[in-house]
Amino acid sequence: MNSRFDACHSRHNEVSSDAMRKAGLKVLVESEEAGPHLAVSEDGFRIIFLQGHPEYDTISLLKEYKREVMRYVSGDRGDYPPFPSNYLSLQSQAILEEYQLRLTNAMTNGTELPEFPEKHVTPLVHNSWQDTANAFTNRWLGQVYQTTNVDRTKQFEDQLDPNDPLGLYSGK
């Protein structure tokens, strides 16, 4: 994987890198803005913790944003939701800002609410995380395949150290 890549985080997460390290996890990927994204168990393999959402399709964040706007409309949310960070183009933001103005006017005047402009924004959304997510998943599955014993009663191939199945610490 590249040393720099995009990853979806739909909400703020309260699990810090320090808390993960104190729990004996190795934090492999983190950013100042989003915090930890990927951590693993001590053996570097058996347990993987992802705090982001590499499984999100191109419009998952747009759907979440729409849900939050609808929560605002219904009164379940007091403030109008901010745009997802680093996701929408300037053109998409302009469309959604115009929608917000039309929506606010309709709510104030008691007129029919405009339709959320999903069909206008969707073609403008770019998926910048999928290639990295696919590479990560494929490499992890490849490692599972290479280390798993064909005998289903055994976890790893016989020559592998169960405490270091990837040979990260023994130098193998």
Structural domain includes residue 82: yes
Q: Within a domain: residue 167?
A: no
32 lies in a domain? no
Q: Which residues of 118-142 are buried (b: 16+ CB within 10 A; e: fewer)?
A: eeebeeebebebbebbeebeeeeee
**162: CB partners within 8 A, 6+ apart:** 43, 155, 156
Q: Where does the pLDDT of residue 161 fall: very low under 50, low under 70, confident under 90, or very high at 90 and above?
A: confident
* Cα 92 from Cα 118, distance rounded (Å): 10
Residue 7 in domain = no
Whether the pLDDT of residue 172 is over 70: the answer is no
> Is residue 89 in some structural domain?
yes
In a domain, 73, yes or no: yes
- Domain containing 75: what range? 60-124
Cα of 61 vs its chain's centroid, Å:
9
Among the listed ranges 1-15, 23-37, 55-69, which one has the minimum average pLDDT value?
1-15
Please indicate, yes or no, if residue 108 is contained in any of the structural domains: yes
Burial (CB count within 10 angstroms: exposed 0-12, middle 13-18, buried 19+), residue 162: exposed
pTM of the model: 0.79
Q: How many structural domains comprise the chain?
A: 1
The DSSP secondary-structure symbol of 160 reads: S
State the average pLDDT over residues 23-49: 89
Q: State mean pLDDT over 127-136.
A: 88
Residue 119 inside a domain? The answer is yes
Structure confidence at residue 12 (pLDDT): 63
pLDDT, tens digit (0-9, with 9 covering 90-100), for 66-94: 999 999 999 999 999 999 988 999 999 99
pLDDT at 31: 85
